[in-house]
Amino acid sequence: MARKDNVTLFREDGTRLDGRKPDEMRPIKMEVGVLDNADGSALVEFGRTKVLAAVYGPREPVQKYIVIPDKAVLRVRYHMAPFSTSERKSPAPSRREVELSKVIREALEPVVLTDQFPRTAIDIFIEVLQADGGTRTTGLTAASLALADAGIPMRALVGGVAVGKIQGRLVLDIDEVEDNYAEADMPVGAAPDIGLITLFQINGVMTREEVMKGLDMALEAINRIVEMEKEVLKSKYMKVEV
């Protein structure tokens, strides 16, 4: 945890260090079908955070014992590239990556129609290419796009964004510098079309009022993120000329 004193994360006019307003997200880029081998893939960027996701399946798992008789097994790996951070990250999976793989899988379980593919596995690989805050929520957004790109039936698309509390103020989509000095970091993932919050964590100290206010900020932003996902998916499949 970094020292929290003697640091100002707001400019005099109330905007953040990178010029954003408190409820403003970083510039978002989304692209689907970026990989040839994968059944579905996506590259999503939130500012300098870049995350690649690929989906393989439904397919027969290599380890034959990993099956559920009446639905597919979802397998998720969240992994950070060694060059994604300022100091090289060892490629061996860290405890953080193990936890985040679970949290992201559990954010996707409510939307993937796994009961349509019994005895199979759907594999979702998330590689963080550059980490600048919000990698789990960017990864979740990329995974949602990659699943849709793979043609896997889903109840709804999901998107994610983190809300931070810095110097007592709630801000949307915190980046790495803000996260280092934040009093709290609250990643949220949701499927707005079915009204479900599917990823929810708080690291830090907040009052209940702040949590609900931050949650509403995140949900409003996720609405916009999921609309962007729909546009990107539509534009890929509307390119066909007759």
By CB under 8 A, the count of residues binding another protein is 53
Q: How many Cβ atoms from other residues are within 10 Å of residue 17's Cβ?
A: 13
- If one asks whether residue 239 binds another protein (CB under 8 A), the answer comes out as no
Of 54, 74, 143, 171, the one binding another protein by CB under 8 A: 74
- If one asks whether residue 4 binds another protein (CB under 8 A), the answer comes out as no
**Region binding another protein by CB under 8 A among candidate stretches 37-45, 171-179, 208-216, 233-241:** 208-216
Question: In angstroms, what is the minimal distance from the CB of 217 to another protein?
Answer: 12
- Matching residue, tokens 């000095």: 181
Of the candidates 51, 84, 237, 15, the residue with the CA atom closest to the CA atom of residue 159: 51
**Region binding another protein by CB under 8 A among candidate stretches 22-30, 38-46, 95-103, 140-148:** 95-103
- Matching residue, tokens 């949590």: 211
> Do 160 and 189 touch, CB atoms closer than 8 A?
yes
- If one asks whether residue 207 binds another protein (CB under 8 A), the answer comes out as yes
Of the candidates 156, 150, 158, the residue with the CA atom closest to the CA atom of residue 58: 150
- If one asks whether residue 201 binds another protein (CB under 8 A), the answer comes out as yes
How many CA atoms lie less than 13 Å away from 5 in the CB half-sphere? 0
26/79 with CB nearer another protein: 79
Within residues 6-25, the interface with another protein by CB under 8 A covers: none
- If one asks whether residue 67 binds another protein (CB under 8 A), the answer comes out as yes
Of the candidates 79, 60, 83, the residue with the CA atom closest to the CA atom of residue 143: 79
